[in-house]
Amino acid sequence: MPFALGTDTGGSISIPAAWCGVFGFRPSTGAWPSGGLVPLSHTRDTVGVIGNSLETVQAVHAIVRMSTGAMSEPLSGEKIRIGIPRADSPHIDALDPKVAEVWQQCLAVLENCTVIELVNVRIDELHRLESTCGAVIEMHEIYHDLGSYLQQLPDPVRYEWLLEQVVREEVRYFLEESLRFRGREGEYRGALRSRRILQECYRDLFTRRRLSGILFPTTPMVAPLLEAAKGSANSDPFEVFARGTRNLNPGSVAGQPVVTIPMGRTTTGLPVGVSLEGAWGADESLIRVARMMSTELSR
């Protein structure tokens, strides 16, 4: 199959695409229909696509969007301005050396591209704001959204029963945390207010700096081994989850579209991905910019 559909709440399209050396597209939240999903967080959930090429990804997106009557947004003829995080940004400052090396090679290629202008941007505030709202929103909504879905099944299932069946420690932790957040309505409303400020920060950044996208390594690490050495950073599933989703969390909470592109491989042959995050609603132009960038990176 040239593509597969999937769901993304906090990186479940982008991360496997990056770690497998293929392409991923998480549309603007709300841009694709979401009927029929097993929900986790209605604020963050979206359907997306993993594909063997951006031509395939673009074709799938076009078919889905035709069903909603959406019109594509043309690119201007100006030089394409791409924001890149400063070296001390949370997106960059904790990269594994192997990922950092491939990232620098990627920047060197793009700096020599005549149609792209790389622009250093300070985006620490995006991480700070996400840290005040992302987990609260997700934890509160998992219990209510997933619990409601389970109750509407032909044979209803209690949330607590599902929790009892969970084997994986990290999955059990999130379901238990969600159970504890179920009645924290005031905290949840505050988190939604913080999310609106986060969205405003994204809008201001794209408008003020005239950006067509923000580029960053999809994850700070390569895919961990299934049997990692005991005591290593990649042996703890909680650490892998936290590090793996780190760079994607702000955009996933704000609802930004993102395209993941193979960036290269480490000296040991493991794929490294780069993600191009766009302005909300600019999905079609973001894919076209990503296609051009992918062509440059594959030369």
For the segment 268-291, the average pLDDT, to the nearest whole number, is 96
User: From the centroid of its chain, how far is CA 209?
Assistant: 22
Q: For residues 101 and 221, give the distance between their C-alpha atoms in angstroms, rounded to a whole number.
A: 12
Q: What CA dihedral angle connects 89, 92, 95 and 101, to 10 degrees? A: -140
Given a contact cutoff of 8 angstroms between Cβ atoms, the answer to whether 26 and 13 are in contact is yes
* Beta carbons of 214 and 254 less than 8 angstroms apart: no
| The predicted structure's pLDDT at residue 298 | 84
Q: How far apart are the first and last CA of the chain?
A: 25
What is residue 299's predicted lDDT score, i.e. its pLDDT?
77
Average pLDDT over residues 191-197: 98
Please give the pLDDT value at position 229.
46
Strands of 46-51's sheet, edge to edge? 3-8, 46-51, 23-26, 258-265, 271-277, 213-217, 80-85, 116-121
SS3 32: coil
- Mean pLDDT, rounded, of the chain: 92
CA angle 181, 187, 192 (to 5 degrees): 110
Q: 3-297 belongs to which CATH class? A: alpha beta
Q: In this model, does residue 98 exceed pLDDT 60? A: yes
The pLDDT value recorded for residue 170 is 86
Task: Kindly state the average pLDDT of the residues 155-184.
Answer: 92
Task: Please give the average per-residue pLDDT across 233-252, as a whole number.
Answer: 86
pLDDT at 236: 78
Q: What percent of the chain has pLDDT over 70?
A: 93
pLDDT tier at 137, thresholds 50, 70, 90: very high
* Predicted local distance difference test score (pLDDT) of residue 224: 87
Q: How far apart are CA 23 and CA 53, in angstroms?
A: 6
Global pTM exceeds 0.85: yes
pLDDT bucket at 237, cuts 50 / 70 / 90: confident
Strand, coil or helix: 137: helix
Residues 64 and 111: their CA atoms lie apart, in Å, by 34
Q: Where are the beta strands (DSSP E) in 113-180?
A: 116-121
